Amino acid sequence: MFRALPEPIHELGRLFEEAGQELALVGGPVRDAVLGRSSADLDFTTSARPDATEAILRRWTGGGAIWDMGREFGTLGGSRDGLKVEITTYRTESYDPASRKPQVAFGDTLEGDLSRRDFTVNAMAVRLPSLELVDPFDGLADLAGALLRTPVAPAQSFDDDPLRMMRAVRFVSQLGFSIEPATAAAIAALADRIAIVSAERVHDELVKLMVGAHPRRALELMVDLGLAAQVLPELPALQLELDEHHRHKDVYQHSLTVLDQAIDLESPAGSGGPCEAPDLVLRLAALLHDIGKPATRRFEDGGVVTFRFHETVGARMAAKRLKALAFDKETIKAVSRLVELHLRFHGYADAEWTDSAVRRYVTDAGPLLQQLHRLTRADVTTRNRRKASGLARAYDELEARIDELAAKEEIGRIRPDLDGNRIMALLDLPPGRAVGEAYAFLLEERMEHGPLGEEEAERRLRQWWADRSEE
């Protein structure tokens, strides 16, 4: 399988050998090749110190691009024929307990370098140009067993670099692996160490987890091992104690099921369809849509359990948590808006909406309409087939009405029939508050009655202004 590496990579190995240095492909690319997966990364480790690596890279690239921003850590990169490589000198590391940043020292052996890797499945290497597989920690066996295990004692590994605990659950999502019991126990014991890791690094791992193939399994592990309590405490908080009569559903399991069902409603990757997999915003909204329930739970007379306004409370909580996790403003805005809107449809299921209500639904959703469609459908987890079928039919009808209105008018971007300049000209007004109020009046008329046309819009505007002036 490694003979299929591009010829320039074999040549790179020969250049290092001629210089009396060792070179090995290492980590994820080796793991992925064994699994039959392609990898865009080509990471190498070498016995050569940075100056020697640079000299060999210059020969290999033939004057092409070389970058050395990681030189102090022993890492240099280069490109040739569209191939990008990064080469790092063998390293040994020690850690300050108050920081996950290592104190880097160059090492002397490939085996020593591999021992500092996060998991045995990433602690394999292929020597170049000989293509000898080096596997000192039985990574192949762990790959075959789909098992995550650390090369050294797990407590030492996670204490040295707590981010590895997030990487463990991320690989569960991406690769479908399980975590070896002693490794899982060490995560549970050291979960609070994740607090020393920057929000940006945790964010990166969480995103990779959420867009992986098995996010539910990974999230359940995060909760079970105590990582979620540190990183995403709103998730374990959903494990509300059920009342003895089970008058409300298990919010935690419901949320995970909604996530699964939302993923099932994504368009296939590469299809160009709406909500193309993996849709991070949809998945986050599905996971977080009910996080306002613990804060709003009330026990009413007769044992009835209510969660009034949990959607608005949840929207604020989602925004706060995503901001703390260093998500970008657009993602925060989109996810919190979907959380806020996720119950809106239930008014339609109870009583058919007017065209005006349908317009407002579409306008409020804006560019998130397709994600709202899928979140609303995914939020049905009842075991009552009759109820589930009724809700599905009602939403089918709502989508049909949206399509019908869209065919008649620009329902996706509703604007008043007159713009601000026309309003000022008709009413002889300068820019100011009165123009905004007139615009809001016309927008309300457009929502309520659909397109009016300029003549009718002008008539209604003049009448509104005359009535307003008499007040």
pLDDT per residue over 247-304, tens digit each? 456 899 999 999 999 999 999 999 999 999 999 999 999 999 999 999 998 888 877 8
8 Å CB contact between 90 and 53: no
DSSP 50-97: HHHHHHHHHHHHTS--EE-TTGGGTEEEEEETTEEEEEEE-EEEEE-T
Per-residue pLDDT band at 334 (split at 50, 70, 90): very high
Fold of 237-411: Hypothetical protein af1432 (1.10.3210)
Tokens of 143: 């790959």
Alpha-carbon span 422 to 309, nearest angstrom: 40
Q: What is the pLDDT of residue 159?
A: 93
Mean pLDDT on 447-454? 80
Enumerate the domain spans of the chain: 2-141, 146-231, 237-411, 415-470
Domain 2-141, CATH = 3.30.460.10
More confident residue, 37 or 66: 66
8 Å CB contact between 373 and 257: no
8 Å CB contact between 12 and 77: no
Alpha-carbon span 211 to 444, nearest angstrom: 40
Q: What is the pLDDT of residue 39?
A: 77
Q: What is the pLDDT of residue 37?
A: 84
Contacts 24+ apart (CB under 8 A), 23-26: 23/48, 23/87, 23/127, 23/128, 24/110, 24/125, 24/126, 24/127, 24/128, 24/134, 25/125, 25/126, 25/128, 26/113, 26/114, 26/124, 26/125, 26/126
pTM of the model: 0.85
Cα 281 to Cα 105, 173, 275, 470: the distances in Å are 41, 17, 9, 49
Which amino acid makes up residue 440? A
Cα 276 to Cα 92, 208, 332: the distances in Å are 42, 16, 19
Per-residue pLDDT band at 449 (split at 50, 70, 90): confident
Each residue's pLDDT tens digit, 5-24: 899 999 999 999 999 999 99
- Kindly give the interhelix angle for 310-324 and 329-341, rounded to the nearest 10 degrees: 160
Residue the block writes with tokens 């940043």? 101
Mean pLDDT on 380-400? 89
Q: Which has the minimum average pLDDT: 103-112, 217-226, 328-337, 376-385?
A: 103-112
Q: What is the pLDDT of residue 451?
A: 81
Name the β-bridge partners of 91: 106
Mean pLDDT on 379-391? 89
Q: Is the pLDDT of residue 227 over 80?
A: yes
Q: H or E segment at 260?
A: helix 251-264
Highest mean pLDDT among 137-151, 387-401, 427-441: 137-151
What's the chain's length in residues? 471
Q: Which has the minimum average pLDDT: 140-144, 389-393, 467-471?
A: 467-471
Per-residue pLDDT band at 240 (split at 50, 70, 90): confident
Q: What is the pLDDT of residue 246?
A: 47
Cα 277 to Cα 194, 213, 270, 274: the distances in Å are 29, 10, 8, 9
Q: Which has the minimum average pLDDT: 140-154, 232-246, 417-431, 446-460?
A: 232-246
Q: What is the pLDDT of residue 426?
A: 84
Share of the chain above pLDDT 90, in %: 62
Alpha-carbon span 235 to 287, nearest angstrom: 8
Q: Is the pLDDT of residue 141 over 60?
A: yes
Tokens of 166: 């997030």
Mean pLDDT on 404-424? 78
Per-residue pLDDT band at 245 (split at 50, 70, 90): very low
Fold of 146-231: Hydrophobic Seed Protein (1.10.110)
8 Å CB contact between 206 and 219: no
Half-sphere exposure of 310 (CA within 13 A, CB side): 19
Q: Is 270 left (phi over 0), alpha (psi -120 to 50) or beta?
A: left
Q: Is the pLDDT of residue 390 over 80?
A: yes
Q: What is the pLDDT of residue 40?
A: 76
More confident residue, 298 or 467: 298
Buried b (16+ CB within 10 A) or exposed e, 264-286: ebbeeeeeeeebebbbebbbbbb
Q: Is the pLDDT of residue 132 over 90?
A: yes
Q: What is the pLDDT of residue 348?
A: 77
Name the β-bridge partners of 26: 125
8 Å CB contact between 349 and 391: yes
More confident residue, 437 or 209: 209
Each residue's pLDDT tens digit, 63-89: 888 999 899 889 999 999 889 999 999
Half-sphere exposure of 34 (CA within 13 A, CB side): 24
Each residue's pLDDT tens digit, 86-114: 999 998 765 566 655 666 688 899 999 99
Q: H or E segment at 209?
A: helix 199-210
Alpha-carbon span 361 to 100, nearest angstrom: 47
Listed in sequence order, the residues at least 6 apart from 114 whose beta carbon sits closer than 8 Å to its beta carbon are 26, 123, 124, 125, 134, 136, 137, 151
Omega of the bond leading into 367 within 30 degrees of 0 (cis): no
Share of the chain above pLDDT 70, in %: 94
Tokens of 260: 């699964």
Alpha-carbon span 431 to 283, nearest angstrom: 43
